[in-house]
Amino acid sequence: MSETLHVSPDLPGAYPRVQDALSMARPGDQIVVSPGEYAENIRLDNRTVLISAAEPGTVTLYAADPLWPVIEARGSLIELRHLRIVSAEGAAVAATQTDLKILDCEMSAASGTGVHLGSGCQFELDRCRVVGAQLGVQLDGCAGTMTNCTISEIVSDGILIRSADPVLRNCVVSDAGYRGVYIYDYSRPTLENCGVSRTGDIGIAVAQQSNPIMRRCRITETGGVGISVAAGCGGQISGCVAEQTAAPGILIAPGSTVEVVEAGRPPAAKIEPVAAAGRQDVARSEDLLGQLDALVGLPGVKAEVHGIIDELQVNEWRRSGGLSVAQSTNHLIFAGSPGTGKTTVARIYGQLLAALGILPRGDFVEVSRRDLVGQYLGHTAEKTSAAFEKALGGVLFIDEAYTLSRTFGSGGDFGQEAIDTLVKLMEDHRHEIAVIAAGYTGEMNDFLDANPGLASRFNKTIVFEDYEADELVAILNTMAEANEYTLDPQLLAAIGGYFSALTRDRNFGNAREARKLFDGMRKAQAQRLRQLRRVPTAEELQLLVFDDLATVLA
């Protein structure tokens, strides 16, 4: 027979703390907490217990140790009623392998997660509120229901659903700094009559082979689109409305099988690929190779890219003729100093792959460490996956990729998480994207050593050599012509001497040095022409002279 144990700081015969009552509770007992504030970290391992406030809204449990959850359960059967649970860096409520019921409770976590339910949890959340947290509710490998719950004032995602199949009914997410609901990693949740409003980015985002069912949901005032469904995802969107969101309200990526039924305004939009995979545009590929050849210098790089394209072209001919084709990837390492044209060549390479029908689009997405690495465990995988999905069908260019390895700076483990996530995604989508990792030659070896499978994901390494002085002069001259300037012959000779004398150390910027010098000379010319005290002629407006260089160097 179950008993009721009382917790109160001044009630005779009561326990002073919840943890004290737990130490005496038997399976099935009920713990009733009198009004007040209690500083505790409550650990429930293999317990069966109900913890309830004597009166709704009168009991606050907050973390005695701010690094740990206020309530943490494992392998238990737990019910929480009418409590206010306040955490700092840990979760307010965290559970794994637990049957958990939370009724009419309010959770907050300044730098943590409001409710984090992990593997093996069966849960029921009813009339609960998460107000103020880094992450609102995280459902990870669990199943259950959330009904009539509100999640608001969240720094990142309101609700994160990973490898889980929950049912959310009549729930509202508002004022989330990033996404309202993020569904990923093979999740199959159901959202009915839910609302999302005032988010920094997408209202409801679906990614990584997830198949949600969304019925009669309303998304408003979002920084991104209302609903976004990535390639490879399915499910159903029925009777949902997206208003005051980024256009289009409901965005369906190519390769998604989601069914849109009775969608509200505005209608769902499908992104059509620029070029259908398998169809070749020979004229376009020749034009792009011409653009590559027109770049100043880079003879070795041009030869490598021509070799790759030749092989891809022949492979497509063999495939269309029913012949076998060796397995390969489109991923490359671009090694070399800054300013050597890596980004420009990467853009052309992506467009070449699209022209040959290797990739559906030639879109180019450039990221660096800050775009991939998050602020807490698990956040990095989400950011990296989101960047990867954005680039699907085109090129993902990772600048200074070596900064993701553990050998660079603090937070290296989060960088390692980005690398580990990339390794899996690159293999799963090897024919849907080209990943190009760029950085200094020596440091890129550290990057490739960061994960045992990383080096095998890349087809080859292309080394970009530093530009010679005459090549930098040609680059600067090209910049001038593109901006309708001409260089005096005396100035051209002096610029060659200037570039020859530059120190070629780690800080040498190659083409960036040419850009910096050109911008400086333009400003010097403007100052010189202003001093004429008359309107310059067209020739004077175009001409850069030796004095402009002298002004910059002075």
Same domain? For 497 and 475 the reply is yes
The DSSP code sequence of 327-387 is: -----EEEEE-TTSSHHHHHHHHHHHHHHTTSSS---EEEE-HHHH--SSTTHHHHHHHHH
Report the run of H or E that residue 550 belongs to, with start and end: helix 546-553
* Residue 415 near residue 371, CB atoms below 8 Å: no
What total number of domains does the chain contain?
3
Q: CA triplet 419, 422, 428: central angle to 5 degrees?
A: 150
Strand partners, 488: none
* Residue 5 near residue 15, CB atoms below 8 Å: yes
* Residue 222 near residue 199, CB atoms below 8 Å: yes
Same domain? For 373 and 477 the reply is no
Residue 407 makes CB contacts below 8 A (sequence gap 6+) with 446
CA 213 remoteness from chain centre: 24
The DSSP code sequence of 80-130 is: EES-EEEESSS-SEEEES-EEEEES-EEEEEEEEEEEE-TT-EEEEES-EE
Same domain? For 460 and 473 the reply is no
Q: Which domain-ending residue is among 155, 172, 191?
A: 155
Residue 235 makes CB contacts below 8 A (sequence gap 6+) with 188, 206, 210, 211, 212, 213, 214, 229, 258, 259
Domain assignment present for 242: no
Identify the band that residue 551 occupies on the pLDDT scale cut at 50, 70 and 90. confident
State the average pLDDT for the chain. 85
Average pLDDT over residues 209-232: 92
| Winning range, highest mean pLDDT, from 118-127, 331-340, 544-553 | 118-127
Tokens linked to 158: 């309101």
Amino acid at 204: I
Same domain? For 452 and 503 the reply is no
Same domain? For 298 and 418 the reply is yes
Q: Is the pLDDT of residue 264 over 60?
A: no
* Residue 206 near residue 185, CB atoms below 8 Å: no
What digits encode the pLDDT tens for the residues 470-494?
Answer: 888 888 888 888 888 888 888 888 8
Distances (CA, A) of 472 to 297, 515, 550: 9, 10, 18
What digits encode the pLDDT tens for the residues 429-462?
Answer: 777 788 888 888 778 877 787 777 777 778 788 8
The CATH number assigned to the domain holding 319 equals: 3.40.50.300
Which pLDDT belongs to residue 280? Answer: 65
Which pLDDT belongs to residue 274? Answer: 33
Same domain? For 445 and 492 the reply is no
Same domain? For 390 and 511 the reply is no
Return the DSSP state at 10: S
Same domain? For 422 and 503 the reply is no
Lowest-confidence range among 117-126, 278-287, 544-553? 278-287
Closest of 229, 255, 256 to residue 242, by C-alpha: 229
Domain assignment present for 320: yes
What digits encode the pLDDT tens for the residues 365-387?
Answer: 888 888 888 776 667 788 888 88
Same domain? For 474 and 346 the reply is no
The DSSP code sequence of 138-164 is: EEES-EEEEES-EEEEESS-SEEEES-
Q: How many CB atoms lie within 10 A of CB 104?
A: 17
Query: Could you give the maximum distance between any two Cα atoms of the chain, in Å?
Result: 102
Q: Is the pLDDT of residue 82 over 90?
A: yes
Which pLDDT belongs to residue 291? Answer: 86
Same domain? For 460 and 474 the reply is no
> 195: helix, coil or strand?
strand
Same domain? For 445 and 459 the reply is yes
Strand partners, 49: 29, 78
What whole-number distance in Å separates Cα of residue 171 and Cα of residue 136? 13
Same domain? For 496 and 425 the reply is no
Which pLDDT belongs to residue 412? Answer: 45
Q: Which domain-ending residue is among 420, 436, 464?
A: 464
Is the C-alpha dihedral spanning 206, 212, 215, 217 positive or negative? negative
The CATH number assigned to the domain holding 504 equals: 1.10.8.60
Which pLDDT belongs to residue 464? Answer: 86
Domain assignment present for 192: no
Which pLDDT belongs to residue 272? Answer: 39
What digits encode the pLDDT tens for the residues 416-430?
Answer: 778 888 888 887 777
Return the DSSP state at 272: P
Residue 256 has φ and ψ, to the nearest 5°, of: -90, 145
Torsion of CA 414, 420, 424, 427, to 10 degrees: 120
Is the C-alpha dihedral spanning 340, 417, 392, 461 positive or negative? positive
What whole-number distance in Å separates Cα of residue 379 and Cα of residue 375? 6
Amino acid at 354: A
Q: Which domain-ending residue is among 120, 155, 190?
A: 155
What digits encode the pLDDT tens for the residues 390-413?
Answer: 888 888 998 888 888 755 544 445
Secondary structure in 3-state letters for 395-455: EEEECCHHHHCCCCCCCHHHHHHHHHHHHHHHHHCCCCCEEEEEECHHHHHHHHCCCCCHH
Query: Which residues constitute the domain of residue 95?
Result: 4-155
In 280-308, which positions are buried (b, 16+ CB within 10 angstroms) versus exposed (e)?
beeebbeebbeebeebbbbeebbebbeeb
CA 276 remoteness from chain centre: 26
What whole-number distance in Å separates Cα of residue 147 and Cα of residue 172? 10
* Residue 245 near residue 221, CB atoms below 8 Å: yes
Identify the band that residue 299 occupies on the pLDDT scale cut at 50, 70 and 90. confident
> 267: helix, coil or strand?
coil
Torsion of CA 501, 504, 510, 514, to 10 degrees: -20
What digits encode the pLDDT tens for the residues 29-61?
Answer: 999 999 999 999 999 999 999 999 998 889 999
